[in-house]
Amino acid sequence: MTSEASLVTLGFSNVGRLVALLVEALEDLSRRVSLSTMPADTLLFVAMPDPVERGIPLSPELEADPFRRCEALGRRVMERALDGVGVTWRGGAWHFFSAGHAGFAQALKAATNALAERRCGNCLVVAVDSLCGPDVLPEFSVQRRLKTSDTPTGFIPGEGGVALWLTGRSASVSPSGPEPRITLRAVMLGEDDARFRGATLPPDGRTLAACVTSALRMAGGDGSRLVLVGDHNGEEYRAREWGMMLMHLHSERLGQETQVSWFPAEGFGDTGAASGALGLCVAVRSLQRRYSPSPMPVVLSISDEGPRAAMVVSVAT
């Protein structure tokens, strides 16, 4: 069972699949923001999967260098996607991030820092990944990570691409239009080097809970009404970390009025490096359509390795 964007990716594999997804995301953004006339001080921040983990062929030199292989994949995908939407890049430098589920949050944090330091006026932040291609599914099956009748705690592979336009006006993540403008209030990053997939120590949720409390504090929220948008995909270790995190948040007296958890993977499957961006889209839409129980939903990312992250958004005032 997979959750494929088959109308977009049918017939594509590895790099072509990522390009097709990103083209769709950029075309959607182009309906709201004119990418062809982007300011020269626009910077690009790209969250990508590790090409080795996605079975993408590499030269021996690139395969031995994690940063270079991420940049090589990012440039290859981004250049083809921009060409696919007929856009010539007129902005500034490109920056690449590959840290699993938390890679998007790292890219978003770097973008907000660039805006705060006035190194740019706008940022294009993109994330794309696919866990559905023929190059990766067999390996997941061998690892018994896929959700099947024999493995009910597995995950459903998904795929997706997101393109986000970030402006310097209070770090807005929504372009002008009929919907309320949304402001990115905080991005907090954490690292748990001792507790990750396959580690001896089980997840205890402390690092993730610290990201949530710090992000809410930075955003100026009291956390009494708590909406958590997570990347839990059904796997046992993620369920354990989520439950432990909720326990720590309860001890901090957060979510006493309302506490709800939303998991986009229930509808989209596990979207890997794009999961944080899709979670942010869910949070933004809940504010624009006014059904979020909290004025400041929190988006959480848990990588298979150590990185953890929390992002907070609200309606601009």
* Residues spanned by the domain of 125: 6-167
Question: Which domain-ending residue is among 134, 167, 200?
Answer: 167
User: Residue 183 to residues 9, 60, 91, 278, 315: CA-CA distances in angstroms?
Assistant: 32, 43, 23, 16, 6
Q: 61 and 128 in one domain?
A: yes
User: Residue 311 to residues 134, 194, 211, 300: CA-CA distances in angstroms?
Assistant: 32, 23, 9, 7
Short-list 233, 251, 221, CA closest to 312:
221
Q: 154 and 60 in one domain?
A: yes
Rounded to two decimals, what is the model's pTM? 0.94
pLDDT in tens, the chain (317 residues): 789 998 999 888 899 999 999 999 999 999 999 999 999 999 999 999 999 999 999 999 888 999 999 999 999 999 999 999 999 999 999 999 999 999 999 999 999 999 999 999 999 999 999 999 888 999 999 999 999 988 999 999 999 999 999 997 655 555 556 778 899 999 999 999 877 777 888 889 999 999 999 999 999 999 999 999 999 999 999 999 999 999 999 999 999 999 999 999 999 999 999 999 999 999 999 999 999 999 999 999 999 989 999 999 999 98
Q: 120 and 64 in one domain?
A: yes
Q: 194 and 147 in one domain?
A: no
Question: How many structural domains does the chain have?
Answer: 2
Measured CA to CA, the distance from residue 313 to residue 298 in angstroms comes to 7
Q: 120 and 46 in one domain?
A: yes
Q: 191 and 306 in one domain?
A: yes
Q: 155 and 14 in one domain?
A: yes
CATH code, 152: 3.40.47.10
What torsion do the CA atoms of 66, 71, 72, 75 make, to the nearest 10 degrees? 160
